């Protein structure tokens, strides 16, 4: 919860170190509404970050709906990363993404029939795809532009 700690230090820190203003995306969720034509810069940063930390390959942009659903996937706005790792590594990546979520601009994480969201914390994921071969990491609009690592 670095975001709140930083905010509670007040205006002086926020003004003297403007980097802090763009590094904390906060606990926001933005649904996807309009496809873009490629991956967002923050998603590329997030993909590189998770790939370096946990291995596996990554996929970002895909103009499609949520698997088995009617709503637009965050992948269609280029702001979701699929990290292809499984088992223990997948669980570690899931937990790490949840830990850094509010500061980094991560709004949803899915792995192995579990989903974490900003609004509903962690619970069973009943979607069509079990997500047992990859971790889905969705970014809010701030994270899609300014993903930060911790
Ligand atoms: Zn995904």
Structure confidence by residue, pLDDT tens digits, 8-56: 333 323 333 444 444 588 888 999 999 999 999 999 999 999 999 999 9
- The Å distance, Cα 3 to ligand 1 centre, comes to 26
Widest CA span in the chain: 48
Runs of H (alpha helix) within 55-148: 87-104, 141-146
Q: What contacts 39, CB < 8 A, 6 or more positions away?
A: 47, 60, 61, 78
Place of tokens 């590094």: 23
Looking at the chain, which runs of residues are DSSP E strands? 57-59, 80-84, 106-111, 114-117, 121-124, 135-139
- Residue 137 lies in domain: 2-146
55: alpha, beta or left? (left if phi > 0; alpha if psi -120 to 50): left
Number of domains in the chain: 1
52 to 25, 32, 48, 112: CA distances (angstroms)? 22, 27, 6, 21
Q: Choose the weakest-confidence range: 10-24, 63-77, 98-112.
A: 10-24
- Centre of ligand 1 from the C-alpha of residue 11, in Å: 37
pLDDT at 150: 60
CA 93 to chain centre: 11
**Per-residue confidence band for 68, with pLDDT thresholds at 50, 70 and 90:** confident
Measured in Å, residue 109 CA sits from the centre of ligand 1 at 9
- Centroid of ligand 1 to alpha carbon of 21 (angstroms): 28
Task: Sort 20 into a burial class: Cβ within 10 Å, 0-12 / 13-18 / 19+.
Answer: middle
62 Cα: distance to centroid of ligand 1 (angstroms): 9
pTM of this prediction? 0.83
pLDDT at 97 over 50: yes
């Amino acid at each position: 919860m670095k975001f709140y700690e930083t905010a509670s230090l007040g205006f002086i820190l926020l003004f003297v170190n403007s980097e802090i203003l763009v590094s904390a995306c906060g606990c926001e969720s933005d649904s996807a509404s309009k496809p873009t034509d490629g991956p967002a810069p923050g998603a590329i940063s997030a993909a590189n970050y998770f790939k370096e930390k946990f291995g596996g390959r990554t996929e970002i942009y895909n103009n499609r709906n949520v698997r088995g659903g009617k709503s637009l996937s965050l992948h269609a706005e280029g702001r979701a990363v699929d990290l292809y790792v499984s088992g223990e590594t997948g669980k570690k990546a899931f937990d790490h993404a949840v830990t850094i979520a509010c500061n980094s601009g991560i709004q949803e994480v899915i792995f192995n029939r579990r989903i974490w969201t900003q609004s509903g914390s962690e619970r069973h994921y009943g979607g069509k795809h079990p997500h047992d071969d990859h971790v889905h990491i969705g970014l809010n609009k701030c994270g899609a532009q300014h993903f930060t690592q911790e």
